[in-house]
Structure 1
Amino acid sequence: MIEMDLRSLVPVVLLLAFSSTTILAQTAAPGVVCESMNGTSCERCLNNVSCLWCITTRTCVTYPVRTILPPHSLCPLNEARWGLCWMNFQNLIITLAVLGAVVIIALLVCLFCCCKCENFGSSRFLAKMERQGKKSRTNQEERRAEMKQRHDDIRKKYGLSGSNPYSRFG
């Protein structure tokens, strides 16, 4: 079941890997200020990793690194683009939050299942070993009783059923 969940996540992981390589492949042009690319295209602005494109105002601004998310006064999240022109910040945040939650839940489920299955398997194994031990003890006692009965029958047959004359030497 978990294997199927992981298979369904493969396209999403590949998409994120491709997106991150695209973002990382972009190079910051030395000496080029993001604001100098106002009015150009989103692709041209986002060639510089430190730039943020706002669709409504068609402005290219330097990404505010002091704040994790760009403030609404700079550009609304659903209009802000960083790294990729086709993905806005709002979708990026939602996607990363959902993926993070899925990964955490999957890890917790795996941890819970593995621990529970391991404990269940070991207790089942111990119970099986105990049953086998009881069975072998029972079989051994039965064989011991049969051998004693056989020996007693042989002693009776040859008249040796009385006390053992050698018992006082032992």
Structure 2
Amino acid sequence: MEGKWTELPGTVALLLLISPGIAWASYTSAPAPPAAIACSFYSGRSCEECLKNVSCFWCITNNTCLDYPVRNIFPPSSLCAMSAARWGACWINFEALIITISVIVGLLILSITVCCCYCCYCRKRSNSLMRMEAEEENLIRERERRKQEALQRKNERTVKHNEIRKKYGLLQDMDHPYSRYENE
């Protein structure tokens, strides 16, 4: 029996899981009929009496209460047309019940998918923003480091040039600004 459950499409399986809940919600405070009473016993009575037993379904066209064909998932049209069949609740036909549950399940799946995609998009965007901020900080640090290195190299070059000028007598004494005019 478990193999049959795994072979069912998701919507139908959900329908089979949700439908007893709908039947239970429409269940009145009257005690359930004994299991020994067949569904045909309720034929010609009312839909409510028939649907108290969840293994039965009601056919409006001929006011009969029939055993639900568990092996077929959906009642065949030879028993009762889907638009005339009632199962779980008398106020909604089986066809509308299937369509409603399918639409609800489809909307749930769609909304969950959209939420997941939106969350992934937001996470990706925040991660990329954080990554961009980190890269920007790294670029600023790298720029400052390069400026410091360039300034250090410039100072080293100036010292070397001054040593060469001093060696060849080209470096004037910086202590006395007018020494240049005295030698002329």
Report the TM-score when normalising by structure 1: 0.68
| Matching residue of 2:14 | none
Taking structure 1 as reference, are residues 31 and 92 closer, same or farther at Cα in structure 2, changes over 3 Å only?
same
CA gap 1:38/1:114 in 2 versus in 1, 3 angstroms: same
AA of the residue aligned to 2:25 = T
Q: 1:162 to 1:20 in 2, by over 3 A?
A: farther
1:33 aligned to 2:49?
Answer: no
Kindly report structure 1 stretches of 4+ aligned residues shifted beyond 3 Å. 23-28, 139-153
Name the amino acid aligned to 1:81. Answer: R
Q: Is the 8 A contact 2:40 2:64 kept in 1?
A: yes
Given candidates 57, 60, 77, the residue that maps to 1:72 is 77
| 1:119 pairs with 2:124 | yes
Identity percentage over the alignment? 35
* 41, 51, 62: which one aligns with 1:57: 62
Letter in 1 for 2:53: N
Counterpart of 2:22 in structure 1: which amino acid?
A: S
User: What is residue 95 of structure 1 aligned with on the other side?
Assistant: 100
Select the structure of larger CA radius of gyration.
Answer: 2
Q: TM-score, normalised by structure 2?
A: 0.64
1:128 to 2:129 alignment: no
Residues 28 and 50 of structure 1 are in contact (CA less than 8 Å); yes or no, is this contact kept in structure 2? no
CA deviation after TM superposition for structure 1 residue 54, in Å: 0.8
Q: Distance in 2 between matches of 1:84 and 1:52?
A: 9
Q: CA deviation at 1:73?
A: 1.4
Structure 2 Cα separation of the partners of residues 146 and 81 of structure 1:
89
Asked whether 1:19 is paired with 2:2, we answer no
Deviations 1:69-108 (A, max 9, x none): 1111111111111111111111111111111211221222
CA distance in 2, matches of 1:17, 1:114: 34
